[in-house]
Amino acid sequence: MSGTSSSSVLVFFWCAAAICCFIFGLTGVTEAQAPSTQPSQAPTSQPQATTDPSEVKALNSIFQQWGIEANAKQWNTTGDPCSGAAIDSTAFDNGDYNPFIKCDCSDNVTCHITQLKVYALDVVGIIPEELWTLSFLFNLNLGQNYFTGPLSASIGNLTSMQYLSLGINALSGELPNELGKLTDLVAISIGTNYFSGPLPSELGNLSKLQQLYIDSSGVSGEIPLTFANLQSLQTLWASDVELSGSIPDFIGSWLNLTSLMFEGNSFEGPIPSALSKLTSLIELRITDISTTNGSSSLGFIKNMKSLTSLVLRNNNISDSIPSNIGEYQKLSLLDLSFNNLTGQIPPSLFNLSSLSILFLGNNKLNGTLPEKKSSSLLNVDVSYNNLIGSIPSWVNETNLQLNLVANNFTLDSSNSSALPSGLNCLQRDFPCNRGPGLYNNFGIKCGGPQITSSNGIVYEKENETLGPATYFVNDESRWGVSNVGYFTGRNGSTIFSSYLIESTSDSKLFQTARLSASSLRYYGLGLVNGHYTLNLQFSELVIQYVNSQSLGRRVFNIYIQGNLVEKDFDIKKEAGAYFLALQRNYTAQVTENYLEIHLFWAGKGTCCVPTQGTYGPTISAISATLDSTPPVSKKNKIGLIVGIVVGVGVLILVMVIFYIVQRRKSPNNDYDEELLGIDIGPLTFSFSELKTATNDFSPNNKLGEGGFGPVFKGTLNDGRVIAVKQLSAASHQGKNQFVTEIATISAVQHHNLVTLYGFCIEGVKRLLVYEYLENKSLDQALFGKRNLNLDWSTRFDICLGVAKGLTYLHEESRLRIVHRDVKASNILLDSNLIPKISDFGLAKLFDDQKTHISTRVAGTIGYLAPEYAMRGHLTEKSRCVCIWRCSSRNCQW
């Protein structure tokens, strides 16, 4: 165990012990061992094998820390973990058995745990050190939870490990070199985590490794030279990681490789010709290679005839389509878009028997479209090329998705009647309504019906079905849209949400959004030339804010008139939270009567959280308006400057007077702005809704009252029982606590922290809505009139639960938080007497880089550490301090 881990464990148990002392006032208590009441068992000739006691102890400790337990109807049926399904023929990957273990009892004396699964249970916490003592494990699946903290070097103890899955978690720190000791590893998955630093060179020791998944893991740097030893490798997924340098030539020696994914990395080109040896490849995806070191060619794919999926998008490939492309009869997906391909399209490409998706857009291809096409080819993008000629007859086939935007085709009603109307306006240079122009503005409700905003902008409906290769122009030829991209594991390009979007007066704009798997373009057509102001509106509607679902990242680029204005744009990061409205304003110069807005996915971000196909650009609404201010001539600049200076001075004076008046008139509104920057996950409730839920805040529903204000019990329309905290109008401290409590508890989630359902802000009314906990606070349970059975075992569990909650706040949360007011009245108990820490109004963030933070002393006198009470210093040692304050009635912390 490392020094850091030891310290964390000691702090954890010290907190648990301290809390027991503080809350229950127990000293010198010993627990007698109850005599066994079980009848003695007759000896058998062949005693049944039992689980190694040290493994039982470790497993129990792990499950207790994670707040999960075995299903005694499935395994652990006799009180011994290695019983029932754990030792019968039940398959380990059976989805009905989770959590689950499998055991090896082959010596008929001792059973060892060899497989452990805790998959997609949204477990929150660290990976305990006890896990690394289960040295007989060969299969460990902890995927899709919310495990935090570093990966311990003690993982090197699991030398029997063959299948290791840690993907979709929040693990951080550098990968330990000790992973190189797991020389029996066949498959390892660490994708979608918060790791950092380089790939350990010791991973090159894993000569038996067949599958390596590091996509979105957070690692960076060059691929170590020792990876040349991974000759057994069959699958490498390494997308969305900052791998740099050149793609190593030694990858060409991985002759068993069948699937290789390098999307959204930081590699420099060209693509090495050594990859030509990988003739067993079935799936190859390499995208977004830097053009610093020159262009690439397609020569390396010459012998890859087993390919079914080939994606080489945006790699600066300067070549023509191979003349032998007709030999790739297994190809079903081919994406060569956003390169510099020249020459004509070989007719054999359109007649591949298995090809169904073909993306050739954004190249320099010329000539005409092939006259014939196979019936399997149903999605074709050839947009943004130099193609000419008539449209072939096969465009009339049903279920065909065809994007022909920005070419020079000859269009007439006889050959294009089956195509969506408006293609003539979306040909090269957008020829419709050129000259003086017809329009000086436009608005588009992306993926939804027409909506008029609160400021009078009409967002016209754009709710057509946009497939993998489609376009659309509205009836007035005022605007158009073009979409290209095929989702892996998802259908549809529209997002629907019933969630009420906050921080905007136009929430209906965000009930739907347009989504694309690769490239989404919107066009303003027939515009009057001049300077335009663009307003783009976004909200993340798919990625959630709960545990593992919050690990998703949607990242894309934004181009205006071909110029990059946003690189690696992340809606959630920019807005501060999911389900919040985000606006971006840009300016653009229109010189040829059209305006282009391009959203482009460059392989960055996660692909599969919370579900498969969660990636690619999305947008809710677009508006553009011609600026009314004409360019200023030189002779008028001096007068303009003087006017601006005088005007600004007067404006500042008016604003100061207005501010002073408003401060005197509205003292209750001085902190409203603090709420706007908070990362708010929960819902907003209306005051009328809460008034109904609490029976008009009836005194019969009153649960108690604190410094914040009264607390009422209520029932929502959906049946949820809630506790409503009402801010007292007389408490200025309560107002600050209101802001702090929302900000703090929205940023952390743990089963030993109270859950915030939402809040209400209407006028001067401020309310917090929490889950209702039946057994109220711990001090009431201990000293109230209710008769709760708080035996020693229950009290210990309560101590342990509070310690877990504090440890999470102090060490495991992405934000280190000091509560500053932990006491029995702020610990609530649910129906199962599970403790939950509440009342975060006095919480403070603690900086890892500082030995202490200085702050105004707050909290309850008698519960404070001496150095904090006297000097206002919060230190590491302030976390757990026993201060006795005994009376004839109780002993408190």
The string of pLDDT tens digits covering residues 423-444 is 999 999 999 999 999 999 999 9
Query: Looking at the chain, how many residues does it have?
Result: 893
Average pLDDT rounded to a whole number, residues 795-805? 87
Say which residue, 836 or 789, is predicted with more confidence: 836
Position 482 scores a pLDDT of: 96
- Give me the residue label for tokens 């003087």: 642
- Asked which of 385-389, 707-711, 832-836 is least confident by mean pLDDT, the reply is 707-711
249 in Cβ contact with 278 (< 8 Å): no
Tens digit of each residue's pLDDT (9 = 90 or more) over 503-559: 677 888 988 899 999 999 999 999 999 999 999 999 988 887 667 888 999 999 999
E-strand ranges in 364-418 read 366-367, 379-381, 386-390, 401-403, 408-410
Q: Would you state the pLDDT for residue 396?
A: 87
Per-residue pLDDT at 860 exceeds 50: yes
Query: How many angstroms separate the CA atoms of 363 and 365, rounded?
Result: 6
pLDDT-derived band at 207, boundaries 50, 70, 90: very high
Comparing 738 with 870, the larger pLDDT belongs to: 738
pLDDT band (50, 70, 90) for residue 498:
low
pLDDT (average), residues 112-135 = 96
Strand partners, 683: 758
Which tokens sit at 488?
A: 């892996």
What integer pLDDT is reported at residue 709 of this predicted model?
Answer: 79
Q: Tell me which residue of 694, 796, 672 sits closest to 742, measured CA to CA.
A: 672
Q: Please, which pLDDT band fits residue 10 given cuts at 50, 70 and 90?
A: very low
Hey, is 545 helix, strand or coil?
Answer: coil
Tokens of 581: 């409205």
Q: Does domain 430-626 have CATH number 3.40.640.10?
A: no
The answer on pLDDT for 325 being more than 70 is: yes
> Is pLDDT above 90 for 595?
yes
Which of 203-207, 459-463, 652-656, 692-696 has the lowest average pLDDT? 652-656
Name the nearest CA neighbour of 748 among 787, 805, 792, 694: 805
Q: Is the pLDDT of residue 861 over 60?
A: no
- 80-84 long-range contacts (CB < 8 A, ≥24 apart) are 80/50, 80/51, 80/56, 80/111, 81/51, 81/55, 81/56, 81/113, 82/49, 82/50, 82/51, 82/111, 82/113
Q: pLDDT, tens digit, for every residue of 149-190?
A: 999 999 999 999 999 999 999 999 999 999 999 999 999 999
- The whole-number average pLDDT for the span 610-632 is 84
Which pLDDT belongs to residue 617? 96
Going by C-alpha positions, the residue among 259, 267, 274, 236 that lies closest to residue 311 is 259
Lowest-confidence segment of 8-12, 463-467, 473-477, 874-878 by average pLDDT: 8-12
Where exactly are the structural domains of the chain?
320-419, 430-626, 673-771, 776-892
Provide the mean pLDDT of the chain. Answer: 83
Taking the complete model, does pTM exceed 0.75, yes or no?
no
The CATH H-level (homologous superfamily) assignment of domain 320-419 is Ribonuclease Inhibitor (3.80.10.10)
For residue 846, what are the contacts with CB-CB under 8 A and spacing of at least 6?
A: 810, 816, 817, 818, 853, 874
Q: Which residues are catalytic?
A: 821
Residue 20 confidence (pLDDT): 46
Least confident of 245-249, 315-319, 783-787, 829-833: 783-787
- Alpha-carbon separation of residue 872 from 857, 879, 891 (angstroms): 5, 14, 25
Choose the weakest-confidence range: 311-325, 517-531, 713-727: 713-727
| 888 pLDDT higher than 60 | no
Q: Give yes or no for residue 46 having a pLDDT over 90.
A: no
What pLDDT shows up at residue 413?
A: 67
Q: For domain 776-892, give the fold.
A: Transferase(Phosphotransferase); domain 1 (1.10.510)
pLDDT at 464 over 50: yes
- Fold for 673-771, please state it: Phosphorylase Kinase; domain 1 (3.30.200)
H helical segments located in 466-616: 571-575
pLDDT of residue 243: 96
Mean of pLDDT values over 619-644: 69
Q: What is the number of other CB atoms lying within 10 angstroms of the CB of residue 271?
A: 23
